[in-house]
Amino acid sequence: PHWLYPGGDDRAPDDRTLFEPDAQRVLAPLSPLAWWRGARAIARANPAHIVIPWWHVFWAPMTLALLAMLRRQCPKAHIVFLVHNTVGHEEHRVAWHIARWVLCRGDAWIVHARSEAEQLHS
């Protein structure tokens, strides 16, 4: 819904050149069953590292569920957040706390700006 996710769409334009040929769209932000299936698919790959993109608190429920499942199923995996925005540009204090609550569960962050790193460390 627009009130929860004010952006246009969570998917890239329909240009197939943007996708890896073997990429699978297994996650759906509003489907807990898809979260479980996604975690199982990731666990089957037995990854050493898991990179999770982050750019909006809309993804918090799905990300928290994935993290809980992946920590159990892939205990040795190093979880890295690729942080585009710690919180959205129009977000309020509650969103900031939710974002920090999620992001503190990773092992490392990759940020796009020093200001994002400073927000994460504050």
Starting at the earlier edge strand, list the strands of the sheet with 49-54: 49-54, 78-83, 108-111
Q: For position 47, what pLDDT does the model report?
A: 97
Q: For position 8, what pLDDT does the model report?
A: 60
Among 41, 43, 36, which Cα is nearest to 23's? 41
- Distance between alpha carbon 81 and the CA centroid of its chain, in Å? 7
83, exposed or middle or buried, with CB in 10 Å at 0-12, 13-18, 19+? buried
- What does the CA dihedral 33, 14, 52, 26 come to, rounded to 10 degrees? 20
Which sequence spans correspond to the domains of the chain?
52-122
pTM (predicted TM-score): 0.78
pLDDT lower than 70: segments of the chain: 1-20, 88-91
Q: Rounded to whole angstroms, how far apart are CA atoms 37 and 82?
A: 22
Q: Where are the beta strands (DSSP E) in the chain?
A: 49-54, 78-83, 108-111
**Cα 71 to Cα 39, 46, 65, distances in angstroms:** 10, 12, 10
